[in-house]
A and B are shown apart, each in its own frame.
Chain A
Amino acid sequence: MTMALHCPAEAEIIAREQETRSIVSLTVRLTDTRLADRFQFQPGQFNMLYLYGIGEIAISISSDPASSDTLTHTISDVGRVSHGLTQLDVGDRIGLRGPFGRGWPLQDVRANDVIIISGGLGCAPVVPVIDYVINRREKYGRLIIMQGVKHSDDMIWRERYEAWGAHPDTQVLLAADAGGKHWNGAVGPVTELFDLAQLPTENSVAFLCGPEPMIRACVQRLLEDGLPADRIWISMERNMQCALGQCGHCQFGDRFVCKDGPVFCYADIRHLFGLKGF
């Protein structure tokens, strides 16, 4: 029995983590154990989470694909549905449809150096990638993780970043536009971190997720440093309502972000990326 992608299934919140004042991670389990047992996802895919009586939003899965019986979604309180979801507690029920979309091309990048650049809550969709690479550390080259936030108070998962940084050949670089007390990362945009890492080599592949102006600046740097466009992958965000490639809202030129993405190879979308109106 697999999930009907047109209709949600009930899921129970089994853990809730208040990451910052406005960011909450909800770990859920589908209450139908037959569905929970069969649920599998690729890093970079997303679920549609349904708040009873209000509606659905697309949230990427930020937990480890190796233990997909429970699914973590890190949610920022920015809209009607996300506000309601961040108010829920352990034991509360939501609806879940998924997984949707195409994730990061991890199979194809074995033995490459992996550069992960994220901004703000863009760190969530790349967590499964980091877990995936860390769990298969010998199959990849260097792992460089760069994360930028507006204010250092927004930097979630500091312990996780510290733990990842302790792995061999793994470099973690954090930046905040504004650093608060006890902030020992860089101060400035995430592009400031490029000078701290030896980036990139022709053997690298870069995965980016975050606000588009930040992505544009980082892609520009990567291209200037000689990384080819077909080695740069971006996770995109657009209005999504059906997640099935039918409601039309997420169209980006000829692509449906929900089914052709959300992860795109930069070479495939560079003609429209950053253009106002797309």
Chain B
Amino acid sequence: MTAHSPVNSFLPRKEFGELLSALRFGGYRCVAPKVCDGAIVYEELQLQDQLPTGISIHQAAGSYRLEITDSPRNFDWANGPQALKPFVFKSTESLWTVNRNADGTITFSESTTEPEPVAIIGVRSCDLAALALQDKHFLNSDCVDPHYQARRASLFLVAVNCTHPSDTCFCASTGDGPVAQGGFDLLLDELDDGFVIRAGSKAAQKILQTLPVEAVTGEQEEVITQQNQRAIKCQTRRLPSNNLEQVLFENLDHPRWQAVAERCLSCGNCTSVCPTCFCYSEQDTGTLDLTRSEHVREWDSCFTQGHSYIHGLTIRADTRLRYRQWLTHKLGSWHSQYGRSGCVGCGRCISWCPVGIDITEEVAAIVSGEP
């Protein structure tokens, strides 16, 4: 039986290519997870075959390893190093260019962003939550970032509920996963022979209506319920669910800050892979003939020496102060700034830390009240 229902439908795996075609017909470039250099990354997808099949990931503190399985599934893994951040907040973005004219006058031209519509397939619930947080920062009432806004508006998000959280994941404790609650255009639950699919936006309803979907069986629903429950239960790490702003700021002199600083390399990997970190620096790149200069922003990190520099004074000269800044902001001041914690439990900062520092362990030590 073929149904054209905007509610739950079943898309057989062999028909997944139809979804890609429908998205392309709808004007979207398709981006999806691929295996590249030993990790899952989001890249342009031409064919369904390019999706990772029978790939799992083993993540631990300071470790990320692909594993080959005999599963027919494409999404048997939690996440790669990058979330949606690079699609909306580019690691490098031109802000303006300025020309110096022969008479000494200078002419500014604001850079514009005209991204082509892009459908991102395989978005995780934690990444949707992080995107909502970045929206609060870059699209707030005080200031709307035009580049972020344009890129954000160009996205069509195909989420897939996460069935294989890694050991580093703790989205269940932050309330951000593993099942997506909103913010997607299409939402998929993966089964061995296909996907249960539903629309979360009008644009997605139109696309869904063109797909050769079938009715969902009770048995399929049951499998999904079970795998979603398992994805919650398998998570062993957690963050306290309460607002930690007060307790963190009451513990600024806790000896744990020094203890973690002795392990931390201050490399900034955690801030690069963090889907909510938003700091950027600005710099000029001039042409050799000095007639033109481009003013560019790049991701920055509160772990760098320059981040807190003001003429002759570095506010956070040592790693203890930098780690404390990162954590008190991420789990503390975010609440006052944007009404919730800045952590969505994706666990990337744990996996991609070269020395395996675990945010959940550090925060537990600091808020426990014991030295």
Chain A contacts to B: CB under 8 angstroms: 4-10, 31, 50, 52-56, 76, 78-79, 82, 91-95, 237-239, 241-242, 244-249, 251, 253-254, 259, 271, 275-278
Contacts and interface: CB of A to CB of B under 8 A. Distances in A.
Contacts of B279: 247-249
B13 interface: no
B280 A247 contact: yes
A247 B300 contact: yes
B312 A5 contact: no
Interface string B322-365: 00110011001101110000000000000000000000000000
A95 B320 CA distance: 37
A172 B5 CA distance: 79
A210 B4 CA distance: 68
B336 to A, nearest CB: 4
B344 to A, nearest CB: 18
Interface string B286-314: 10001001010100101000111111100
Interface stretch (B44-52, B79-87, B135-143, B226-234): B135-143
A9 B108 contact: yes
Contact of A249 (B110, B145, B284, B307): B307
Contact of A7 (B96, B316, B325): B96
Contact of A251 (B104, B110, B293, B333): B333
B265 interface: no
A4 B111 CA distance: 12
Given A247-B300, A277-B315, A8 B282 contact: no
B138 A246 contact: yes
Interface in B243-301: 245, 249, 252, 278-284, 286, 290, 293, 295, 297, 300
B137 A246 contact: yes
A163 to B, nearest CB: 30
Contacts of B329: 251
Given A238-B308, A249-B281, A93 B105 contact: yes
A76 B295 CA distance: 24
Contacts, number: 123
23 contacts: A10-B106, A54-B284, A55-B282, A55-B284, A78-B311, A95-B108, A238-B308, A239-B308, A239-B315, A241-B282, A244-B145, A245-B143, A251-B325, A251-B333, A253-B328, A253-B336, A254-B333, A254-B335, A254-B337, A259-B142, A277-B315, A277-B320, A277-B321
B107 interface: yes
Given A95-B98, A248-B279, A251-B329, A53 B307 contact: no
B26 interface: no
A156 B83 CA distance: 53
Nearest to A248: B279
Given A247-B297, A259-B142, A271-B249, A55 B283 contact: yes
Interface of B is mostly: mixed
B333 A6 contact: no
Nearest to B286: A53
A10 B306 CA distance: 28
Given A238-B310, A244-B143, A248-B302, A31 B315 contact: no
B41 interface: no
Contact of A53 (B107, B252, B293): B293
A127 B138 CA distance: 34
B202 interface: no
A79 B313 CA distance: 11
Given A52-B293, A275-B252, A248 B105 contact: no
A9 B98 CA distance: 10
B105 A242 contact: no
B206 interface: no
Contacts of B278: 246, 248
Nearest to A7: B110
Nearest to A93: B106
Contact of B249 (A94, A238, A253): A253
A82 B310 CA distance: 12
Counting from the closest, the 4 A-B pairs by CB-CB distance are A248-B279, A277-B321, A254-B336, A254-B333
A78 B310 CA distance: 10
A248 B326 CA distance: 11
B146 interface: yes
B104 A93 contact: yes
Contacts of B307: 239, 249
Interface in B95-146: 95-96, 98, 100, 104-110, 137-138, 140, 142-143, 145-146
A247 B143 contact: no
Contacts of B249: 253, 271
Nearest to B301: A248
Contacts of A278: 315, 325
A6 B297 CA distance: 12
Given A31-B105, A53-B293, 19 more contacts: A5-B143, A6-B95, A7-B109, A50-B295, A55-B284, A76-B311, A82-B311, A95-B106, A239-B310, A244-B142, A246-B280, A247-B280, A248-B302, A251-B333, A253-B249, A259-B142, A276-B321, A277-B316, A278-B325
Most buried by B among A31, A54, A93: A93
Nearest to B287: A53
Nearest to B293: A53
Most buried by B among A8, A78, A242, A248: A248
